[in-house]
Amino acid sequence: MAKRETGLRFQPSGGTRATQLPTGKKQRLTIERLANDGRGLAFFEGRTWFVSGALAGEEVEAMVLNAHGKVVEARSERQFSTSPLRREAECRHFGRCGGCSVQHVPHDEQLALKQRMLAEQFSRVAGIEPQEWAAPISGPEYGYRRRARVAVRWDAKAKRLDVGFRAEASQDIVAIQECPVLVAALQPIMAGLGALLHGFAKPQVIGHVELFLGSDRHAETPAVLLRHTVPLVESDLAALQAFCAVHRAQVWLQGEGPPTPLDPSSELGYSLREPDVQLAYRPGDFIQVNAAVNDAMIAQALEWLAPRPDERVLDLFCGLGNFALPLARKAGAVVAVEGVAEMVERARSNAVANGIDRARFFQADLFSPLAGAEWAVGDFTAVLLDPPRDGALEVVRHMARLGAERLVYVSCNPATLARDTVELLKQGYRLKRAAILDMFPQTGHVEAMALFEAGQEAR
Protein backbone atom coordinates (compact mmCIF):
# COMPACT_ATOMS: atom_id res chain seq x y z
CA MET A 1 0.00 0.00 0.00
CA ALA A 2 1.28 3.46 -0.86
CA LYS A 3 2.61 5.58 1.97
CA ARG A 4 0.02 8.12 3.09
CA GLU A 5 0.96 11.71 3.79
CA THR A 6 -1.05 12.55 6.90
CA GLY A 7 0.71 15.25 8.94
CA LEU A 8 -0.78 13.61 12.06
CA ARG A 9 0.40 13.39 15.62
CA PHE A 10 1.87 10.15 16.93
CA GLN A 11 2.73 9.05 20.45
CA PRO A 12 6.44 9.36 21.31
CA SER A 13 8.59 6.28 20.95
CA GLY A 14 10.27 4.56 23.84
CA GLY A 15 9.30 2.11 26.54
CA THR A 16 8.02 -1.37 25.92
CA ARG A 17 7.43 -2.39 22.31
CA ALA A 18 3.69 -2.45 21.61
CA THR A 19 2.07 -5.80 20.86
CA GLN A 20 1.11 -6.06 17.18
CA LEU A 21 -2.64 -6.00 16.61
CA PRO A 22 -3.95 -9.03 14.70
CA THR A 23 -6.02 -8.63 11.56
CA GLY A 24 -9.69 -9.05 12.38
CA LYS A 25 -9.47 -7.71 15.93
CA LYS A 26 -12.37 -5.39 16.79
CA GLN A 27 -12.11 -2.23 18.87
CA ARG A 28 -14.61 0.36 20.04
CA LEU A 29 -13.37 3.85 19.09
CA THR A 30 -14.47 7.48 19.07
CA ILE A 31 -13.66 9.22 15.78
CA GLU A 32 -12.07 12.66 16.29
CA ARG A 33 -11.96 13.93 12.72
CA LEU A 34 -11.48 12.90 9.11
CA ALA A 35 -8.11 12.26 7.51
CA ASN A 36 -7.38 13.73 4.10
CA ASP A 37 -8.44 10.55 2.32
CA GLY A 38 -11.88 10.52 4.00
CA ARG A 39 -11.16 7.89 6.65
CA GLY A 40 -12.06 8.54 10.26
CA LEU A 41 -9.23 9.24 12.70
CA ALA A 42 -9.13 7.86 16.23
CA PHE A 43 -6.36 7.74 18.83
CA PHE A 44 -6.38 4.83 21.25
CA GLU A 45 -3.71 3.37 23.56
CA GLY A 46 -0.87 5.13 21.77
CA ARG A 47 -1.97 4.15 18.28
CA THR A 48 -3.40 6.20 15.42
CA TRP A 49 -6.36 4.48 13.78
CA PHE A 50 -7.52 5.18 10.22
CA VAL A 51 -11.07 3.87 10.03
CA SER A 52 -12.82 3.66 6.65
CA GLY A 53 -16.56 4.20 6.66
CA ALA A 54 -16.48 6.32 9.84
CA LEU A 55 -17.26 10.01 10.33
CA ALA A 56 -16.13 12.61 12.86
CA GLY A 57 -17.96 12.39 16.18
CA GLU A 58 -19.12 8.81 15.70
CA GLU A 59 -18.50 5.98 18.13
CA VAL A 60 -17.84 2.85 16.10
CA GLU A 61 -16.72 -0.73 16.29
CA ALA A 62 -13.69 -0.95 14.01
CA MET A 63 -12.11 -4.12 12.62
CA VAL A 64 -8.34 -4.17 12.03
CA LEU A 65 -7.32 -4.61 8.39
CA ASN A 66 -3.60 -3.88 8.76
CA ALA A 67 -1.39 -2.76 11.63
CA HIS A 68 2.13 -1.36 11.29
CA GLY A 69 3.73 -0.20 14.51
CA LYS A 70 1.53 2.52 15.91
CA VAL A 71 -0.57 2.97 12.77
CA VAL A 72 -3.70 0.86 12.34
CA GLU A 73 -5.86 0.63 9.25
CA ALA A 74 -9.39 -0.50 10.04
CA ARG A 75 -12.96 -0.60 8.78
CA SER A 76 -16.08 0.50 10.62
CA GLU A 77 -18.28 -2.53 11.23
CA ARG A 78 -21.11 -0.70 13.03
CA GLN A 79 -21.92 2.68 14.57
CA PHE A 80 -22.98 3.12 18.19
CA SER A 81 -23.62 6.80 17.44
CA THR A 82 -24.17 8.36 14.03
CA SER A 83 -22.99 11.66 12.57
CA PRO A 84 -25.76 13.89 11.16
CA LEU A 85 -23.64 14.09 8.00
CA ARG A 86 -23.89 10.37 7.32
CA ARG A 87 -25.95 9.32 4.31
CA GLU A 88 -26.96 5.92 3.00
CA ALA A 89 -24.47 4.52 0.47
CA GLU A 90 -25.85 4.04 -3.04
CA CYS A 91 -24.02 0.76 -3.64
CA ARG A 92 -24.86 -2.40 -1.69
CA HIS A 93 -21.20 -3.44 -1.90
CA PHE A 94 -20.03 -0.36 0.03
CA GLY A 95 -17.79 -1.36 2.92
CA ARG A 96 -16.56 -4.51 1.18
CA CYS A 97 -15.51 -3.34 -2.30
CA GLY A 98 -12.36 -1.26 -2.13
CA GLY A 99 -13.40 1.13 -4.90
CA CYS A 100 -15.67 3.88 -3.57
CA SER A 101 -14.63 4.68 -0.02
CA VAL A 102 -16.64 7.85 0.78
CA GLN A 103 -20.15 7.08 -0.46
CA HIS A 104 -21.42 7.71 3.09
CA VAL A 105 -20.23 11.35 2.83
CA PRO A 106 -22.49 13.92 1.08
CA HIS A 107 -21.01 15.07 -2.22
CA ASP A 108 -20.52 18.69 -1.14
CA GLU A 109 -18.58 17.42 1.87
CA GLN A 110 -16.49 15.20 -0.41
CA LEU A 111 -15.54 18.28 -2.44
CA ALA A 112 -14.69 20.26 0.71
CA LEU A 113 -12.56 17.37 2.00
CA LYS A 114 -10.60 17.22 -1.26
CA GLN A 115 -9.99 20.96 -1.28
CA ARG A 116 -8.74 20.80 2.33
CA MET A 117 -6.32 18.05 1.35
CA LEU A 118 -4.93 20.12 -1.53
CA ALA A 119 -4.69 23.25 0.64
CA GLU A 120 -2.85 21.31 3.35
CA GLN A 121 -0.29 20.01 0.86
CA PHE A 122 0.37 23.52 -0.49
CA SER A 123 0.70 24.90 3.04
CA ARG A 124 2.76 22.11 4.62
CA VAL A 125 5.12 21.35 1.71
CA ALA A 126 5.38 24.68 -0.11
CA GLY A 127 4.37 27.14 2.65
CA ILE A 128 1.91 28.87 0.33
CA GLU A 129 -1.74 29.15 -0.61
CA PRO A 130 -3.18 30.18 -3.97
CA GLN A 131 -4.02 33.83 -4.49
CA GLU A 132 -7.44 32.56 -5.57
CA TRP A 133 -9.41 29.34 -5.14
CA ALA A 134 -11.55 28.57 -8.18
CA ALA A 135 -14.77 26.57 -7.80
CA PRO A 136 -14.32 22.79 -7.92
CA ILE A 137 -14.91 21.10 -11.26
CA SER A 138 -17.38 18.28 -10.80
CA GLY A 139 -19.94 16.27 -12.74
CA PRO A 140 -22.48 13.55 -11.96
CA GLU A 141 -21.94 11.72 -8.66
CA TYR A 142 -22.73 8.36 -10.26
CA GLY A 143 -22.76 6.88 -13.75
CA TYR A 144 -19.56 8.66 -14.76
CA ARG A 145 -16.90 5.97 -15.19
CA ARG A 146 -16.34 4.95 -18.83
CA ARG A 147 -13.52 2.51 -18.14
CA ALA A 148 -13.13 -0.20 -15.50
CA ARG A 149 -10.83 -3.14 -14.83
CA VAL A 150 -12.58 -6.25 -13.50
CA ALA A 151 -10.49 -8.64 -11.42
CA VAL A 152 -10.70 -12.33 -12.34
CA ARG A 153 -8.98 -15.15 -10.44
CA TRP A 154 -9.23 -18.92 -10.73
CA ASP A 155 -9.04 -20.71 -7.38
CA ALA A 156 -7.55 -24.06 -8.40
CA LYS A 157 -8.04 -25.64 -4.99
CA ALA A 158 -11.72 -24.70 -4.75
CA LYS A 159 -12.20 -24.94 -8.53
CA ARG A 160 -13.94 -21.57 -8.37
CA LEU A 161 -13.74 -18.44 -10.51
CA ASP A 162 -13.89 -15.11 -8.64
CA VAL A 163 -15.10 -12.13 -10.69
CA GLY A 164 -15.48 -8.58 -9.37
CA PHE A 165 -13.44 -5.80 -7.76
CA ARG A 166 -10.72 -5.98 -5.14
CA ALA A 167 -11.79 -5.75 -1.52
CA GLU A 168 -10.52 -2.93 0.67
CA ALA A 169 -6.92 -3.47 1.86
CA SER A 170 -6.96 -7.02 0.50
CA GLN A 171 -6.32 -9.16 -2.55
CA ASP A 172 -9.72 -10.78 -2.07
CA ILE A 173 -12.23 -10.28 -4.88
CA VAL A 174 -15.74 -9.07 -4.07
CA ALA A 175 -18.27 -10.61 -6.46
CA ILE A 176 -20.06 -7.67 -8.08
CA GLN A 177 -22.85 -7.60 -10.63
CA GLU A 178 -23.65 -3.90 -10.51
CA CYS A 179 -21.52 -0.81 -10.04
CA PRO A 180 -23.37 2.52 -9.84
CA VAL A 181 -20.34 4.61 -10.83
CA LEU A 182 -20.13 2.94 -14.26
CA VAL A 183 -21.73 4.72 -17.20
CA ALA A 184 -25.16 3.37 -18.12
CA ALA A 185 -23.95 1.58 -21.27
CA LEU A 186 -21.54 -0.60 -19.24
CA GLN A 187 -24.02 -1.51 -16.49
CA PRO A 188 -25.70 -4.45 -18.29
CA ILE A 189 -22.32 -5.79 -19.40
CA MET A 190 -21.10 -5.75 -15.80
CA ALA A 191 -24.33 -7.44 -14.68
CA GLY A 192 -23.88 -10.38 -17.05
CA LEU A 193 -20.08 -10.71 -17.06
CA GLY A 194 -19.81 -13.05 -14.08
CA ALA A 195 -22.31 -15.55 -15.48
CA LEU A 196 -20.55 -15.47 -18.87
CA LEU A 197 -17.11 -16.22 -17.42
CA HIS A 198 -18.40 -18.84 -14.98
CA GLY A 199 -19.78 -20.70 -18.01
CA PHE A 200 -16.39 -20.91 -19.74
CA ALA A 201 -14.96 -24.39 -20.29
CA LYS A 202 -11.46 -23.07 -19.45
CA PRO A 203 -11.95 -20.16 -17.04
CA GLN A 204 -8.46 -20.62 -15.59
CA VAL A 205 -6.88 -18.97 -18.67
CA ILE A 206 -8.52 -15.57 -17.97
CA GLY A 207 -6.18 -12.89 -16.62
CA HIS A 208 -8.56 -9.96 -16.21
CA VAL A 209 -11.31 -8.13 -18.10
CA GLU A 210 -11.56 -4.44 -18.94
CA LEU A 211 -14.70 -2.59 -19.93
CA PHE A 212 -14.66 0.56 -22.08
CA LEU A 213 -17.13 3.00 -23.49
CA GLY A 214 -15.91 4.62 -26.67
CA SER A 215 -17.82 7.16 -28.73
CA ASP A 216 -17.66 9.25 -31.83
CA ARG A 217 -19.73 12.19 -33.00
CA HIS A 218 -22.69 9.88 -33.67
CA ALA A 219 -22.82 6.89 -31.32
CA GLU A 220 -21.45 5.25 -28.17
CA THR A 221 -19.51 2.01 -28.55
CA PRO A 222 -18.97 -0.34 -25.57
CA ALA A 223 -15.99 -2.69 -25.69
CA VAL A 224 -14.85 -5.73 -23.70
CA LEU A 225 -11.14 -6.60 -23.48
CA LEU A 226 -10.31 -10.08 -22.19
CA ARG A 227 -6.74 -10.75 -21.12
CA HIS A 228 -5.80 -14.44 -21.43
CA THR A 229 -2.73 -16.48 -20.57
CA VAL A 230 -3.32 -18.96 -23.45
CA PRO A 231 -5.74 -18.62 -26.39
CA LEU A 232 -9.41 -19.22 -25.64
CA VAL A 233 -10.94 -22.50 -26.71
CA GLU A 234 -13.48 -22.20 -29.52
CA SER A 235 -16.56 -22.64 -27.32
CA ASP A 236 -15.43 -19.91 -24.90
CA LEU A 237 -14.59 -17.51 -27.71
CA ALA A 238 -18.01 -18.14 -29.28
CA ALA A 239 -19.72 -17.47 -25.94
CA LEU A 240 -17.80 -14.19 -25.55
CA GLN A 241 -18.75 -13.12 -29.08
CA ALA A 242 -22.41 -13.94 -28.52
CA PHE A 243 -22.44 -12.02 -25.20
CA CYS A 244 -20.87 -8.95 -26.79
CA ALA A 245 -23.22 -9.13 -29.77
CA VAL A 246 -26.21 -8.92 -27.41
CA HIS A 247 -24.70 -5.79 -25.83
CA ARG A 248 -23.50 -4.33 -29.17
CA ALA A 249 -19.98 -4.33 -27.77
CA GLN A 250 -16.64 -4.75 -29.49
CA VAL A 251 -14.49 -7.77 -28.57
CA TRP A 252 -10.78 -7.23 -27.85
CA LEU A 253 -8.32 -9.94 -26.83
CA GLN A 254 -4.85 -9.68 -25.32
CA GLY A 255 -2.33 -12.46 -24.96
CA GLU A 256 1.39 -11.75 -24.89
CA GLY A 257 1.15 -8.87 -27.38
CA PRO A 258 -0.88 -5.67 -27.44
CA PRO A 259 -4.71 -5.68 -27.31
CA THR A 260 -6.22 -6.74 -30.65
CA PRO A 261 -9.84 -6.41 -31.82
CA LEU A 262 -11.56 -9.54 -33.04
CA ASP A 263 -12.99 -7.41 -35.86
CA PRO A 264 -10.06 -5.54 -37.47
CA SER A 265 -12.35 -2.62 -38.31
CA SER A 266 -13.18 -1.98 -34.64
CA GLU A 267 -12.19 1.47 -33.38
CA LEU A 268 -12.50 3.24 -30.04
CA GLY A 269 -12.53 6.97 -29.48
CA TYR A 270 -14.05 9.80 -27.51
CA SER A 271 -15.25 13.28 -28.39
CA LEU A 272 -14.33 16.56 -26.74
CA ARG A 273 -17.26 18.88 -26.42
CA GLU A 274 -15.51 22.20 -27.01
CA PRO A 275 -13.63 22.58 -29.26
CA ASP A 276 -15.01 19.81 -31.44
CA VAL A 277 -12.25 17.16 -31.44
CA GLN A 278 -12.42 13.38 -31.81
CA LEU A 279 -9.62 11.32 -30.24
CA ALA A 280 -9.01 7.69 -31.22
CA TYR A 281 -7.50 5.34 -28.66
CA ARG A 282 -6.87 1.66 -28.02
CA PRO A 283 -7.22 -0.40 -24.83
CA GLY A 284 -4.05 0.16 -22.83
CA ASP A 285 -3.85 3.86 -23.71
CA PHE A 286 -4.40 6.33 -20.89
CA ILE A 287 -7.72 8.16 -21.09
CA GLN A 288 -9.59 10.18 -18.48
CA VAL A 289 -12.42 7.98 -17.17
CA ASN A 290 -14.83 10.86 -16.47
CA ALA A 291 -15.98 12.47 -19.73
CA ALA A 292 -17.92 15.38 -18.19
CA VAL A 293 -15.07 16.42 -15.89
CA ASN A 294 -12.54 15.96 -18.70
CA ASP A 295 -14.50 18.38 -20.92
CA ALA A 296 -14.78 20.94 -18.11
CA MET A 297 -11.11 20.49 -17.20
CA ILE A 298 -9.99 21.21 -20.77
CA ALA A 299 -12.23 24.28 -20.97
CA GLN A 300 -10.77 25.64 -17.73
CA ALA A 301 -7.19 24.93 -18.81
CA LEU A 302 -7.78 26.85 -22.04
CA GLU A 303 -9.33 29.73 -20.11
CA TRP A 304 -6.50 29.90 -17.56
CA LEU A 305 -3.68 29.47 -20.05
CA ALA A 306 -5.35 31.86 -22.53
CA PRO A 307 -3.20 30.92 -25.56
CA ARG A 308 -3.01 33.57 -28.28
CA PRO A 309 -2.59 33.06 -32.04
CA ASP A 310 0.93 34.51 -31.90
CA GLU A 311 2.18 32.22 -29.10
CA ARG A 312 4.08 28.93 -28.98
CA VAL A 313 2.64 26.59 -26.36
CA LEU A 314 4.35 23.54 -24.86
CA ASP A 315 2.26 20.55 -23.75
CA LEU A 316 4.21 18.03 -21.66
CA PHE A 317 2.94 14.47 -21.00
CA CYS A 318 0.51 15.04 -23.87
CA GLY A 319 -0.80 11.48 -24.23
CA LEU A 320 -3.28 11.15 -27.09
CA GLY A 321 -3.53 14.93 -27.50
CA ASN A 322 -6.28 15.51 -24.93
CA PHE A 323 -5.00 19.05 -24.29
CA ALA A 324 -2.65 19.53 -27.25
CA LEU A 325 -5.32 19.41 -29.95
CA PRO A 326 -7.72 21.88 -28.26
CA LEU A 327 -4.71 24.14 -27.59
CA ALA A 328 -3.74 23.97 -31.27
CA ARG A 329 -7.17 25.35 -32.21
CA LYS A 330 -6.23 28.58 -30.42
CA ALA A 331 -2.42 28.94 -30.29
CA GLY A 332 -0.07 29.77 -33.12
CA ALA A 333 1.91 26.55 -32.59
CA VAL A 334 1.88 23.68 -30.09
CA VAL A 335 4.82 21.45 -29.28
CA ALA A 336 3.55 18.31 -27.53
CA VAL A 337 5.82 15.77 -25.81
CA GLU A 338 5.02 12.28 -24.50
CA GLY A 339 7.13 9.42 -23.18
CA VAL A 340 5.24 6.50 -24.75
CA ALA A 341 6.06 6.14 -28.45
CA GLU A 342 2.72 4.47 -29.35
CA MET A 343 0.81 7.36 -27.77
CA VAL A 344 2.86 9.88 -29.74
CA GLU A 345 1.93 8.14 -32.99
CA ARG A 346 -1.75 8.09 -32.05
CA ALA A 347 -1.60 11.78 -31.10
CA ARG A 348 -0.12 12.57 -34.53
CA SER A 349 -2.86 10.54 -36.20
CA ASN A 350 -5.50 12.30 -34.13
CA ALA A 351 -4.16 15.68 -35.25
CA VAL A 352 -4.36 14.64 -38.90
CA ALA A 353 -7.86 13.18 -38.47
CA ASN A 354 -9.08 16.46 -36.97
CA GLY A 355 -7.43 18.64 -39.62
CA ILE A 356 -5.04 20.21 -37.10
CA ASP A 357 -1.66 21.18 -38.53
CA ARG A 358 -0.32 23.53 -35.84
CA ALA A 359 0.76 20.77 -33.43
CA ARG A 360 4.06 18.87 -33.55
CA PHE A 361 4.57 15.74 -31.46
CA PHE A 362 7.78 14.34 -29.96
CA GLN A 363 8.69 11.28 -27.93
CA ALA A 364 10.99 11.91 -24.95
CA ASP A 365 11.68 10.68 -21.42
CA LEU A 366 10.41 13.60 -19.37
CA PHE A 367 11.93 12.21 -16.18
CA SER A 368 15.44 12.75 -17.54
CA PRO A 369 17.40 16.03 -18.02
CA LEU A 370 16.20 18.07 -20.99
CA ALA A 371 19.64 19.18 -22.18
CA GLY A 372 19.93 18.76 -25.95
CA ALA A 373 16.27 17.97 -26.56
CA GLU A 374 15.35 19.26 -30.04
CA TRP A 375 11.80 20.12 -28.99
CA ALA A 376 13.02 22.30 -26.09
CA VAL A 377 14.66 24.88 -28.38
CA GLY A 378 13.19 28.39 -28.36
CA ASP A 379 10.80 30.15 -26.02
CA PHE A 380 7.33 28.98 -25.04
CA THR A 381 5.10 31.68 -23.64
CA ALA A 382 2.68 29.17 -22.13
CA VAL A 383 3.16 25.62 -20.84
CA LEU A 384 0.71 22.91 -19.85
CA LEU A 385 1.78 19.96 -17.70
CA ASP A 386 -0.31 16.83 -17.10
CA PRO A 387 2.13 14.36 -15.50
CA PRO A 388 1.48 11.00 -13.83
CA ARG A 389 1.49 10.58 -10.04
CA ASP A 390 5.28 10.96 -9.85
CA GLY A 391 4.93 14.60 -10.88
CA ALA A 392 7.20 16.57 -13.20
CA LEU A 393 10.16 17.74 -11.13
CA GLU A 394 12.78 17.33 -13.85
CA VAL A 395 10.95 19.45 -16.45
CA VAL A 396 9.73 21.94 -13.84
CA ARG A 397 13.37 22.75 -13.09
CA HIS A 398 13.64 24.13 -16.65
CA MET A 399 10.50 26.28 -16.74
CA ALA A 400 12.17 29.67 -16.50
CA ARG A 401 14.73 28.67 -19.17
CA LEU A 402 11.91 27.65 -21.49
CA GLY A 403 10.55 31.19 -21.25
CA ALA A 404 7.20 30.22 -19.73
CA GLU A 405 5.17 33.21 -18.57
CA ARG A 406 2.08 31.13 -17.74
CA LEU A 407 1.96 27.53 -16.60
CA VAL A 408 -1.08 25.33 -16.01
CA TYR A 409 -0.24 22.21 -14.00
CA VAL A 410 -2.84 19.42 -14.00
CA SER A 411 -2.10 16.97 -11.20
CA CYS A 412 -3.39 13.58 -10.06
CA ASN A 413 -1.28 13.72 -6.88
CA PRO A 414 -1.41 16.80 -4.60
CA ALA A 415 1.79 15.70 -2.84
CA THR A 416 3.95 15.89 -5.98
CA LEU A 417 2.15 19.04 -7.14
CA ALA A 418 3.11 20.71 -3.85
CA ARG A 419 6.69 19.44 -4.18
CA ASP A 420 6.98 20.81 -7.72
CA THR A 421 5.43 24.09 -6.56
CA VAL A 422 8.45 24.59 -4.30
CA GLU A 423 10.72 24.46 -7.36
CA LEU A 424 8.52 26.86 -9.32
CA LEU A 425 8.54 29.34 -6.44
CA LYS A 426 12.35 29.23 -6.45
CA GLN A 427 12.26 30.30 -10.10
CA GLY A 428 10.08 33.31 -9.32
CA TYR A 429 6.65 31.93 -10.25
CA ARG A 430 3.51 32.84 -8.30
CA LEU A 431 0.70 30.40 -7.52
CA LYS A 432 -2.08 32.47 -9.01
CA ARG A 433 -5.05 30.09 -8.87
CA ALA A 434 -5.95 26.51 -7.95
CA ALA A 435 -8.97 24.22 -8.05
CA ILE A 436 -9.79 20.60 -7.42
CA LEU A 437 -11.04 18.35 -10.22
CA ASP A 438 -13.55 15.78 -8.97
CA MET A 439 -12.56 13.15 -11.51
CA PHE A 440 -13.50 10.26 -9.18
CA PRO A 441 -16.61 11.05 -7.10
CA GLN A 442 -17.27 8.70 -4.14
CA THR A 443 -13.52 8.16 -3.68
CA GLY A 444 -10.84 10.02 -1.74
CA HIS A 445 -8.76 10.46 -4.90
CA VAL A 446 -7.88 14.13 -5.53
CA GLU A 447 -6.98 15.74 -8.84
CA ALA A 448 -6.14 19.41 -9.15
CA MET A 449 -5.30 22.25 -11.51
CA ALA A 450 -2.97 25.11 -10.67
CA LEU A 451 -2.07 28.27 -12.57
CA PHE A 452 1.41 29.75 -12.12
CA GLU A 453 2.50 33.09 -13.50
CA ALA A 454 6.03 34.35 -13.84
CA GLY A 455 7.29 37.23 -11.76
CA GLN A 456 10.17 39.47 -12.77
CA GLU A 457 12.65 36.87 -11.50
CA ALA A 458 11.37 34.21 -13.91
CA ARG A 459 11.31 36.35 -17.03
**Catalytic residue IDs:** 412
The string over 356-380, giving b where at least 16 C-beta atoms fall within 10 Å of a residue's C-beta and e elsewhere, is bebbebeebebeeebeebebbeeeb
For strand 333-338 and strand 359-363, is the pairing parallel, antiparallel, or unpaired? parallel
Q: Are 223 and 187 in contact (CB under 8 A)?
A: no
SS (H, E, C) the chain: CCCCCCCCCCCCCCCCCCCCCCCCCEEEEECCEECCCCCEEEEECCEEEEEECCCCCCEEEEEEEEEECCEEEEEEEEECCCCCCCCCCCCCCECCECCCCCCCCCHHHHHHHHHHHHHHHHHHHHCCCCCEECCCECCCCCCCECEEEEEEEEECCCCEEEEEEEECCCCCEEECCCCCCECHHHHHHHHHHHHHHHCCCCHHHEEEEEEEEEECCCCEEEEEEEEECCCCCHHHHHHHHHHHHHCCCEEEEECCCCCEECCCCCCEEEEECCCCEEEEECCCCCCCCEHHHHHHHHHHHHHHHCCCCCCEEEEECCCCCCCHHHHHCCCCEEEEEECCHHHHHHHHHHHHHCCCCCEEEEECCCCCCCCCCHHHCCCCCEEEECCCCCCCHHHHCCHHHHCCCEEEEEECCHHHHHHHHHHHHHCCEEEEEEEEECCCCCCCCCEEEEEEEECHHHC
